[in-house]
Amino acid sequence: TGGGWSEIERVRSCTVTVSRPYRIKGASQAFLSMVGMLKKQVVDRDMSVLWGCESEADRWGGMLDAAAAGHSQTKRVCVSDSLCCKFLANVVCMPVFDARGAVESLAVAFVPLPSRHGAPWRGLREAMPDHSS
């Protein structure tokens, strides 16, 4: 694990400073139900479920596909009463809940953390159009 907790805290503190998050409306049902299962382990609804992908923006679609198939390429850092997250690099994915508490869509924010692969993803904004209203 190493400095897992401090990394997560740093990401959570960054999420308030990023530009308005992207929203994925067409996420597969399998992926949404997996997010729903993670949500059941989260005591505080405001806690984020974090997802990260290793290197480039074009890996994003593959990561969603892998997660939907139950073979997520991300790694679990920690699971506790108040936090269930998967974290790798610099993408934060938060469930957006509707009035009934179901997962309506996924809000995705880019967190400009230093990357061991060099510069942060430059192509992310182009690769993910903003569908939020």
CB atoms within 10 A of CB 60: 19
pLDDT at 38: 43
Residue 27 DSSP symbol: -
pLDDT at 120: 38
Cα distances (Å, whole numbers) of residue 73 to 43, 101, 102: 25, 27, 25
Model confidence at 99, pLDDT cuts 50, 70, 90, reads: low
For residue 109, give both structure tokens: 């924010």
Who has greater pLDDT, 83 or 94? 94
Contact 73, 63 (CB under 8 A): yes
